[in-house]
Amino acid sequence: MRAFSILLVSILFSQTSDIVPEPGHRYMIDARTGEKIEYLGEYDRVGEVYIADSIHVFMGEKAGKRKWIDLKTGKVLHGDYDRVGPVSRFGQRHIFTASDGEHWFYVDLVTGDIIGRKFDGIGEVMEFEDRYIARVVDQQMIYFLDLISGEVLSGPFDESGLPEYHENRYLVAARKGDRWVWHDLDKDEDIGGIFQSVGQVHELGGKSYFQALEDNEWFYVELSTGKQMPGRWESMSPLGRKLESGWAFRVLKDMKWYLVRDWDKGMQGPGFDYILDVRPVGGDLLIQYQEDDERYWTVMNDDGSTEGRWMDFIDPVETENGIFFKTLLPGEGRTEYAWINLNKREMIGEGKYDLSDLMLSPKGIIYTALGEEGWRVYGLNGPLTPAFEYIADRQIWFRDNTYFRASDGEEYFYINLESGEPVEDWGRWQETCCFSTDKAEFKVRKDGKFMTYSIDHKRIID
């Protein structure tokens, strides 16, 4: 049968004569011979051809009524529909929508049976792993129809969202009169009661909860039990990210935002204008908040107290010495940055105009930074080199020593991190680049040309 299906697709199509067609003058022809296929008949219109599995049919219309015709026999399978929608496959069933002029309904293409019953209107179909649930309307009320079993699951509702799947249950948020519920479609029961309004379902600590509003206060309801959880707030908002451990959400009380991460402890924090982000880093929980139109980061401890106040949280890096990140420093004039030791809640050194990434060296963690006197290499306890006009942001590990490419503003050279001074044996040049630790050489520019300098030979070798 599969080969027959492919053949039909290739040789059958709807065709009219070269003259403007009269009613009853549309038919199917054999594309190989151009001859009319008599047994398939004539129609006012020839519509969709649908071939799948053992189904080989096309849509034919006569006198405003639409019928499904068997391509193999020309016999009418079923029809007399006023309007017909496209065929879709739901599980093992091939289903289309149809209308008799007054009502809409779903029809099984193979059997012609109406699925469920007729409705005033039909809407979206939500596809789950093994179920297909349609939202339908009858007498201006909403119902839900299982397209596989044909069972009308729940209703009537005045208004609803689309079905969702949570904790092995098919649920929908719906309005009954002026009250809202989360409703179990299979059990046909409301969860936790009926409320002034309901919000979305959120997962907190491996359990699902939905937001509910009563007496103009928001709270969570546990989905599995219907239990109302502690706390009532003016507003509540989930985080934009999942925490690696534990859970949290934002709440508004007396026009200030707080964090909730334990049902018994309730609100935590001093109260922020708004909480923008929550980020777990190491064993700490960082909060980005807004205050007087400015944004800051702080650490929230287990008891809800906060430590530190930083304008940015840039390029965090975890090392044996702790977790570090860059931040912009407040103030007027030229922009300054600093590295922050998150574990100690303190700034490393003073603010700098520019910072490199952190690097691990024989002298521990180091970085290059631009200050008022120029560029230096710094360790966690202060500067390791004099100031230069320029120091590259990448270290070179060569023969048990660390080197940096540097410049005094006129010439380029390399400095040894151990002494902090230029390596005079390697010379000073118009430009240097391309240090090869394997060949013990680097490129230099002299008299406008790039050449290769050999460290072992202490001279240019080409």
Encode pLDDT of 70-98 as tens digits: 999 999 999 899 999 999 999 889 999 99
- Residue position matching structure tokens 């230099």: 444
Which of 47-56, 145-154, 301-310 shows the lowest mean pLDDT across its residues?
47-56
Output the pLDDT for position 24. 59
Q: How confident is the model at residue 427 (pLDDT cuts 50, 70, 90)?
A: very high
Helix (H) or strand (E) holding 3, with range, is helix 2-11
As a whole number, mean pLDDT of residues 155-176 equals 96
DSSP 38: G
What's the rounded Cα separation, in Å, for the pair 120 and 135? 12
Average pLDDT, the chain: 91
Q: How confident is the model at residue 153 (pLDDT cuts 50, 70, 90)?
A: very high
Using alpha carbons, list the distances in angstroms from residue 326 to 142, 188, 261, 290, 363: 55, 55, 27, 19, 21
What's the rounded Cα separation, in Å, for the pair 152 and 145? 4
Output the pLDDT for position 23. 52
Its pTM stands at 0.78
Span 124-135, pLDDT tens digits:
999 998 899 999
Q: How confident is the model at residue 169 (pLDDT cuts 50, 70, 90)?
A: very high
7 pLDDT above the threshold of 80: no
Among residues of the chain, what percentage have pLDDT more than 90?
Answer: 82
What's the rounded Cα separation, in Å, for the pair 373 and 371? 6
15 pLDDT above the threshold of 60: no
Output the pLDDT for position 243. 82
Closest CA to 258 of 269, 247, 242: 269
Q: How confident is the model at residue 48 (pLDDT cuts 50, 70, 90)?
A: confident
Residue 54 tokens, joined? 């053992």
1 pLDDT above the threshold of 70: no
Output the pLDDT for position 11. 36
CA atoms within 13 Å, Cβ hemisphere of 242: 7
Q: How confident is the model at residue 5 (pLDDT cuts 50, 70, 90)?
A: very low
Span 323-374, pLDDT tens digits:
999 999 988 778 999 999 999 999 999 999 999 999 999 999 999 999 999 9
Residue 120 tokens, joined? 């005033």
- Preceding peptide of 163 cis, ω within 30°: no
Among residues of the chain, what percentage have pLDDT more than 70?
Answer: 95
- Residue position matching structure tokens 């959400």: 249
Q: How confident is the model at residue 53 (pLDDT cuts 50, 70, 90)?
A: confident
Q: How confident is the model at residue 461 (pLDDT cuts 50, 70, 90)?
A: very high
Please name the amino acid found at residue 402: T
Residues 198/220, Cβ–Cβ less than 8 Å: no
- Preceding peptide of 383 cis, ω within 30°: no
- Positive or negative, the CA dihedral 15, 17, 20, 21 is negative
As a whole number, mean pLDDT of residues 220-230 equals 97
DSSP 111: T
